[in-house]
């Protein structure tokens, strides 16, 4: 392949704990923790560094142009994380911990790679309106109900295009690095609404 200008890291799936922690064996928990860290922490680090090795020679000497930005539109690594890196969910112990590690990796990489004019940012999407999650929520309606309760925007489940718009913003703003943008419809605020009831559709 040719030169690398933009890298988007977006792969992996969550391991869900569908029984209480104390009913899980220690080897079972250890295995699932290792699997999720391998997928979201180790692979994120290795992919970022592999890309940076290719990108650094291209970007380390570029200069700021007349428009106040670097004279190139690339030099960016974007990691897609998850909203569950901060709020606690009892069924996503391994996944949430690994995604939290990915946030630290993004910030560390941004600091280290800035000397080569490489920016590193992340996006923490919320609950998506895609086929795989829909199957899970049909099986676990109580989780869907909780998400519906705490998302302050409607529709509750985001369209994947909203993630693409956030990526386009990150690509275009050359002054943004080391950031993890929450894109979750306000779910992370867990806003409890007692006296100002909404009349909008909850679907």
Query: How sure is the predictor about 185, in pLDDT bands with cuts at 50, 70 and 90?
Result: confident
What distance in Å separates the CA atoms of residue 5 and residue 59, rounded to the nearest whole number? 9
Residues 121-177 have pLDDT tens digits of 999 998 887 888 788 888 888 888 888 887 878 888 888 888 999 999 999 888 899
Residue 21 has pLDDT above 70, yes or no: yes
pLDDT at residue 60, rounded to an integer: 84
Q: Could you count the other beta carbons within 10 Å of the beta carbon of residue 64?
A: 11
Say what the pTM is: 0.84
> Residue 145: its pLDDT value, please?
87
Asked if residue 155 has a cis previous peptide bond (ω within 30° of 0), the answer is yes
Please report which confidence band the pLDDT of residue 39 belongs to, taking 50, 70 and 90 as the band edges: very high
Within-domain flag for 201? no
75 phi, psi to nearest 5 deg:
55, 50
Higher pLDDT, 34 or 146: 34
Q: What is the pLDDT of residue 103?
A: 92
Beta partners for residue 181, in sequence order: 123
Number of domains present in the structure of the chain:
1
The per-residue pLDDT of the chain, averaged, comes to: 85
How does residue 13 score in pLDDT terms, banded at 50, 70 and 90? confident
Looking at the domain assignment, is residue 151 inside a domain? no
Q: Are strands 76-80 and 119-125 parallel, antiparallel or unpaired?
A: parallel
The Cα–Cα gap between 144 and 136 comes to 9
Return the CATH number at 67. 3.40.50.720
Pairwise CA distance, residues 46 & 25, whole Å: 30
User: Residue 97's pLDDT band (boundaries 50, 70, 90)?
Assistant: very high
Whats the size of the chain, residue-wise?
203
Under 8 Å between Cβ of 111 and 118: no
Residue 1 lies in a domain: no
The strand pair at 6-9 and 76-80 is best described as parallel
Please name which of 24, 17, 33 lies closest in space to residue 143, comparing C-alpha atoms: 17
Provide CB contacts within 8 A for 2, sequence distance 6+: none
Residue 137 lies in a domain: no
* pLDDT at res. 164: 92
- The 3-state DSSP composition of the chain as helix, strand, coil percent (nearest 5) reads 50, 10, 40
Within-domain flag for 57: yes
- At 40-95, the pLDDT tens digits run 999 999 999 999 999 999 888 877 777 666 666 678 999 998 888 777 778 889 99
Report the distance separating Cα 174 and Cα 149, nearest Å. 36
Judge whether 145 lies within some domain. Answer: no
The angle formed by the CA atoms of residues 136, 160 and 199, to the nearest 5 degrees, is: 75
Instruction: Give the residue, 96 or 186, on which the prediction is more confident.
Output: 96
pLDDT of residue 11: 74
Alpha carbon 27 to chain centroid distance? 28
- The parent domain of residue 123 ranges over 6-128+159-189
Residue 47 in domain = yes
CA atoms within 13 A on the CB side of 89: 26
Helical H segments across 60-116, by residue range: 93-113
Looking at residue 65, what is its pLDDT? 72
Give residue 195's pLDDT band: very low, low, confident or very high (50, 70, 90).
low
Residue 200 lies in a domain: no
What's the confidence (pLDDT) of residue 73?
61
């Amino acid at each position: 392949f040719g030169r690398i200008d933009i890298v988007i890291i977006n792969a992996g799936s969550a391991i869900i704990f569908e029984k209480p922690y104390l009913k899980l064996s220690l080897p079972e928990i250890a295995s699932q923790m290792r699997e999720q860290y391998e997928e979201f922490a180790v692979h994120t680090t290795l992919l970022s560094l592999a890309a940076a090795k290719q990108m650094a020679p291209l970007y380390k000497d570029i200069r700021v142009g007349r428009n106040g930005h670097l004279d190139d539109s690339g030099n960016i690594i974007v990691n897609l994380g998850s909203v569950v890196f901060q709020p606690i969910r009892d069924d996503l112990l391994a996944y949430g911990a690994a995604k939290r590690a990915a946030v630290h990796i993004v910030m560390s990489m941004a600091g280290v790679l800035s000397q080569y004019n490489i920016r590193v940012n992340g996006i923490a999407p919320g609950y998506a309106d895609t086929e795989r999650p829909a199957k899970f929520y049909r099986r676990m309606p109580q989780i869907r109900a909780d998400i519906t309760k705490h998302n302050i925007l409607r529709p509750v489940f985001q369209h994947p295009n909203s993630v693409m718009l956030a990526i386009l913003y990150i690509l275009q703003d050359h002054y943004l690095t080391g950031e993890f943008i929450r894109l979750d419809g306000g779910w992370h605020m867990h806003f409890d609404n007692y006296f100002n009831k909404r009349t909008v559709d909850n679907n």
